[in-house]
A and B are shown apart, each in its own frame.
Chain A
Amino acid sequence: MTHAISIDGLAYRAGRHFAIRDLRMHVPNGSVYGFLGPNGSGKTTTIRLLLGMLPPADGTIAVLGHDVPRGAHQALARIGYVPERLHLYPMLTIEETMRHHASFYPRWDRAEAERLRRAFELRAEQRVGRLSKGEAGKLMMLLALAVRPELLVLDEPTDGLDPVVRRDVLSALLEYVSTHSATVLISSHLVHEQERVCDWIGVMDGGRLVAEMPMHAFRSGIKRLRIAGPPVHASPAPFGILARRAGAGREEEWVVRDWRDDMTSWFASSDTALREVVDLDLEESFVETLRAARDASGRAA
């Protein structure tokens, strides 16, 4: 499998309290990669590092085959980027912004840009500084898509948008991805939105990537188990235990990952009754993954 983004051993420090340490992240070509994490976990910093906007202290970054930050400008010509906040020059009109943007991108699709402008109901003569949040979100998505990118990097692209605008923006994105087989890295803390569109998931917390796996593994592999009489000397479990909490009486509640249905036999062999296997939705899986990662790092500290 080749990777559109490949990050190894990345380190970066911002101030005294925040650091990215030994980050490894691999975004497969053609995937829609959901980059999840709570606010302040380092998602935006990682994105800025992989776009060459920040200099890493250590590690290697390769984006579309280009070393970053050295070859960032070559990679950027093939990337559509939507930052978390409006980043465009406020005194330009939409038309001027499109013209200015187009002059930097050899692959700019003028007809597509015009089509998207009309579809998004953006007025060409409107000044960027006077756009509403929804209009600004649409304009940034327009600029990102009209460069016909091989990789789209979207940092909270729908954060704060109303449901109608969010739907418009996401459907434009999905339409582009389905017709151009582009890779998408989409950072968000809106877990349900990621669940609908992503086929890979990376979970970031405290400057570390605590989980990276295909969406189906994340969604179906993490379960909550209700167990009576937990095994005292059980053989090593064939699944990963993310959390273990006391329940009523002799019962315990386990949150496990890499679960498969045939693993129920492990409980039978250890004289333990597996009472219930509960499916978790993505948000619960995300929260449990974070909790387990924090417990583990707390123990390590």
Chain B
Amino acid sequence: MLTQTLYVQWKWNRDFLAFYTVVAFAAPLVILWVALPHLGLTSARELVSVGEAVGTATEVIAVLAGLTVAWQGYGVDERVGHIYALSLPVTRGRALAMRAGTASLTLALPAVGVWIGAMVAAAQVQLPPSLHSYAGSLASKALLAAWLAHACMFALCYSARRRAKVVLVLLIIGVSTLAVATVVAPSSRPAITRAGDFLISNPGPFGVLFGRWTLIDV
């Protein structure tokens, strides 16, 4: 059952996965080749900034891959009115878990693309002793970011429309309330800042997206 679900998931997403894998592989190389003639292989600071550019590109690719895979999978079900998925003899929870799990597995491909591309790119430059390349770390972050983006889009797509609307409205109300609170009661700022920090810094739920993304660092 799981193997067949994985196979169907692969058939749904293989074009997009191939695209993102190739782009993830090529992005570090292209950025390096574009930047190298200007760098002249001398400045450590400039090498770090190129590494950061690779990191940012990788992050964008990973997030887009996660969003696309979730959206594409949902789109196939949506086109047939979800009737087939609902008529299969498994509980909804199990069906969704299999879907999400197999989609997450397929997202390993772009991460592998990142890893190989980053290693090849890093091998192209002579790094000074103070700098190191972090291809494995970049690939791991890409995988986590793709999973996170996939999970958010998957949850939004497969939740009931009314429930999704309620969540969005609550989110908007929450953010607006916080914005108003910081203006009306400046003393609430530290609490709000702490809450924001929890969300966007490690090990918060969105920490991976707001952390440092770079291929080359000290």
Contact = CB atoms under 8 A, between A and B. Distances in A.
Contact of B87 (A81, A85, A96): A81
B83 to A, nearest CB: 4
A74 interface: yes
Given A83-B83, A87-B80, A91-B12, A73 B91 contact: yes
A92 B4 CA distance: 11
Interface of B: 1, 3-5, 7-8, 11-12, 76, 79-81, 83-84, 86-91
A73 B93 CA distance: 11
B interface majority secondary structure: helix
A96 B90 CA distance: 19
Contact of A104 (B11, B80, B88): B88
A246 interface: no
A65 to B, nearest CB: 15
Interface residues of A, number: 25
A88 B87 contact: no
Interface in A56-102: 73-77, 79, 81, 83, 85-92, 96, 99-100
Contacts of B1: 103-104
B159 to A, nearest CB: 15
Contact of A53 (B4, B11, B87, B90): B87
A100 B4 contact: yes
A51 interface: yes
B87 A76 contact: yes
Contact of B80 (A73, A79, A88): A88
Given A100-B4, A100-B8, A104-B90, A88 B76 contact: no
A86 B87 CA distance: 13
Contact of B83 (A52, A87, A100, A104): A87
Nearest to B12: A91
A83 B3 contact: no
Given A103-B1, A104-B1, A87 B87 contact: yes
Contacts of B79: 90
